Amino acid sequence: MGMDDFQFCQILPKVELHAHVSGCIRPATLNEWLPAPEKGLIATRPFTFAVFGLIHSAIDSLDKVQRVVREAIEDFHADGVIYLELRSTPRSFPQTSNVPATTKYDYIRRVLSTARTCMTRRDLSGITVRFIVSIDRSKPANDALDTLKVLNSIDDDYIVGIDLSGDPRCQSSPLDEFLYMFAQQKNRHKLTIHFGEHWNIDELDKILRIGPDRLGHACCIGDDVLDIIQSRHIPVEVCLSSNVVVLADRGCFCCHSESNSCSSDICSKCNDWRELGDRKSPCLCVYGAHRLGALIKDGVSPMCICTDDPGVFAVSSTIEHLRALRSFSLSRKQLLNLVHRSVP
């Protein structure tokens, strides 16, 4: 008997370019660190952005950062990822009764040393890990300047770029200030920017003007921006499940209801599809309607299927590739081609 689609996606050597360290936390690890009233939050409640605040509070020391990074690398390796870029916003931690205060410099160094240690382990052979330093645009621009100053004091080839992330609706400094800083870094670092997570046409134009090396998400864009991405061959880190959950108001659950009124061909299959074990597939017609679907299927655009926050959204690289294969009616050969186009 031949392998099914899940098994194929599982053994497929995969590339992961958009994985936030904090969002990679294992639910069991988070439950271990959360106070009793909040244990099991990820597993038992619908997604809310409050989850990220809880994770941020729970990861309150460099030792915990190290554990999350190590477990993330172990999980991606077990899932068949051969090239992994983790990203995180460096933090300082205050002194406690047992541990001295630590700095952003210490944070970056701990992530890098953990990645190096993991790559020397025989049981983790075959995976290459690199690091992207994230700048949170919801924090003041001065904080970003401080992070970049720290970053530029470190000469380490495991650092492969900088990322602009954070909720664009909660920024404390104008986007122009962050983009100016990023443009100043182009000769030192590759740039990847969270892009089109929400509708804001002016922001998209400003971001494209500085010539980012990659874009993240790009799910709320018009035809003109889609054409620019395609014509300029700009790589995009596509986070299907994350986009569907965050933009839940666009979701479609008709194929899991008693009255199926959806005309999508995918909907007729969703009830029969299984993922890991006997886990039912979510409705995939909204996945198939993703804004980047045409570029994913065109065979040439550099699209990478990513997990974003696998611990939060209960996904893996295998699951995301399986959902891409099914949502866009890809053949296995086309999926393999998509992975080849992901390699940075």
How is the beta sheet containing 159-165 ordered, strand by strand?
14-20, 81-88, 128-136, 159-165, 191-195, 214-217, 236-238, 303-305
pLDDT tens, per residue, the chain with 344 residues: 578 999 999 999 999 999 999 999 999 999 999 887 666 655 555 566 778 889 999 999 999 999 999 999 999 999 999 999 999 999 999 998 788 999 999 999 999 999 999 999 999 999 999 999 999 999 999 999 999 999 999 999 999 999 999 987 777 789 999 999 999 999 999 999 999 998 888 999 999 999 999 999 999 999 999 999 999 999 999 999 999 888 765 445 455 555 555 666 676 666 667 787 677 777 788 888 899 999 999 999 999 999 999 999 999 999 999 999 999 999 999 999 999 999 98
Contact 336, 227 (CB under 8 A): no
- Report all structural domains of the chain as residue ranges with CATH numbers, in order of start: 5-249+305-310 (3.20.20.140)
Residue 165 sits at φ, ψ, to 5 deg, of -135, -165
Task: Kindly provide the residue ranges of all beta strands, DSSP E only, lying in the chain, ordered along the sequence.
Answer: 14-20, 81-88, 128-136, 159-165, 191-195, 214-217, 236-238, 303-305
pTM above 0.95, yes or no: no
Separation between Cα atoms, residue 218 and residue 302, nearest integer Å: 13
- Could you tell me which of 158, 4, 8, 21 has the C-alpha nearest to residue 80? 8
Separation between Cα atoms, residue 158 and residue 166, nearest integer Å: 23
- Could you tell me which of 77, 311, 89 has the C-alpha nearest to residue 178? 89
Q: At 14, is the secondary structure helix, strand, or coil?
A: strand
pLDDT of residue 38: 67
Q: Is 199 exposed, middle or buried (0-12, 13-18, 19+ CB in 10 A)?
A: exposed
Q: How many residues does the chain have?
A: 344
The torsion angle over the Cα atoms of residues 72, 73, 74 and 80, rounded to 10 degrees, is 110
Q: At 39, is the secondary structure helix, strand, or coil?
A: coil
pLDDT of residue 167: 83
Dihedral sign of CA atoms 265, 271, 272, 277 in order:
positive
Separation between Cα atoms, residue 84 and residue 320, nearest integer Å: 15
Contact 323, 241 (CB under 8 A): yes
Long-range contacts (CB closer than 8 Å, 24 or more residues apart) made by 180-184: 181/135, 181/141, 181/144, 181/145, 181/148, 182/135, 182/210, 182/212, 183/210
